[in-house]
């Protein structure tokens, strides 16, 4: 899907998935559902002008933030392919301006060179960087020497439970809330996003990188997803990758 079409769909999908529970104060989930399905009580009917204003403003703000965040993150979304047919891609994210990419799929260790697409750029090659690590992370170096790659800030100290998260790969998104921070050096979101998002970047509404989806990410807690924190990705790269 082309970039513009992909971005246009994002706001609506994300807004629908998060609108219930987003509006606080007097407007409860029950109130919002009643409004959406045309089943307001008399008291709710009396408050309808205020309710509609709150809903419209909240949805507009959330949709705008979501779209902005994805636009910021899009240039760092990487997809790796074993051949030139560009099938069964493996997700990753660009960490450095000189083209170091991180992923977590062990299939990447089966060959040295992979075809890679970053954002909306053309297909180039990337080499797996040898390490002695057993933490499950794989780093690759894009071979286009001299090319400057965009990066996004890492979300480190400004994470809070309940924050909205966006998980994205080259053609899909999923949204969730941050439900756990830092347990065993992992974060967790309150949705099971599925295998198609393995090793995908997770961002907040500020367009900062929160981390990547861990392989086998539900980790015996169905309905949730484990996230390898961005700070860990950066620290391990500094220790294990000779650049």
* pLDDT band with cut points at 50, 70 and 90 for residue 32: low
Instruction: Please compute the mean of the pLDDT values over residues 201-226 and round it to a whole number.
Output: 86
Q: Tell me, what CATH number does 168's domain have?
A: 2.40.10
Q: Does residue 152 form part of some domain?
A: no
Query: Do 197 and 185 belong to one domain?
Result: yes
CB of 145 within 8 A of CB of 124? no
User: Considering the chain, what is the average pLDDT of its residues?
Assistant: 78
- Interval 57-95: pLDDT, tens: 555 556 677 788 888 899 999 999 998 888 889 999 999
The residue among 18, 50, 74 that closes a domain is: 74
The answer to whether residue 151 is domain-embedded is no
Highest mean pLDDT pick, 19-33, 48-62, 197-211 = 197-211
Residue 58 lies in a domain: yes
- Contact call for residues 167 and 193 (beta carbons, < 8 A): yes
Residue 81 belongs to a domain: yes
Q: What is the mean pLDDT of residues 47-54?
A: 60
Q: What is the CATH number of the domain that holds 83?
A: 2.40.10.10
Q: What confidence score (pLDDT) does residue 100 get?
A: 92
**Claim to verify: residue 60 and residue 87 sit in the same structural domain:** no
Name the domain count of the chain: 3
**Do 126 and 89 share a structural domain?**
yes
- Specify whether 23 is located in the same domain as 54: yes
181 and 221: one domain? yes
Tell me: do 66 and 79 sit in the same domain: no
Domain containing 171 equals 164-234
Tell me 222's DSSP state. Answer: T
Cβ–Cβ < 8 Å for 66, 11? yes
pTM: 0.73
The single-letter DSSP state of residue 88 is S
Using an 8 Å Cβ cutoff, are 178 and 210 in contact?
yes
237 dihedral zone (left: phi>0; alpha: psi -120 to 50; beta): alpha
Which single residue is written with the structure tokens 């894009």? 142
Q: What percent of the chain has pLDDT over 70?
A: 68
Distance between CA atoms of 209 and 23, rounded to whole angstroms?
A: 25
């Amino acid at each position: 899907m082309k970039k513009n079409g992909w971005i246009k769909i994002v706001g609506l999908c994300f807004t629908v998935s998060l609108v219930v529970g987003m509006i606080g104060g007097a407007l409860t989930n029950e109130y919002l559902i009643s409004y959406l399905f045309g089943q307001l009580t008399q008291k709710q009917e009396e408050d309808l002008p205020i309710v509609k204003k709150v809903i419209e403003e909240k949805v507009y703000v959330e949709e705008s933030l979501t779209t902005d965040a994805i636009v910021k993150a899009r240039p760092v979304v990487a997809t790796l392919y074993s051949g030139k047919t560009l099938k069964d891609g493996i997700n990753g994210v660009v960490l450095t301006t000189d083209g170091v990419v991180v992923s977590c799929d062990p299939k990447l260790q089966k060959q040295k060179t992979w075809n890679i697409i970053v954002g909306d750029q053309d297909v180039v090659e990337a080499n797996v960087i040898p390490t002695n690590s057993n933490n499950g992370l794989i780093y690759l170096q894009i071979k286009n020497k001299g090319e400057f790659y965009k990066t996004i800030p890492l979300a480190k100290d400004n994470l809070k439970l309940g924050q909205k998260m966006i998980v994205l790969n080259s053609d899909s998104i999923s949204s969730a809330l941050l439900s756990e921070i830092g347990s065993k050096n992992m974060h967790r979101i309150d949705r099971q996003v599925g295998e198609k998002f393995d090793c995908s970047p997770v961002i907040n509404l500020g367009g900062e990188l929160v981390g990547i989806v861990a392989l086998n990410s539900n980790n015996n807690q169905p309905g949730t997803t484990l996230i390898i924190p961005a700070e860990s990705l950066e620290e391990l790269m500094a220790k294990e990758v000779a650049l």
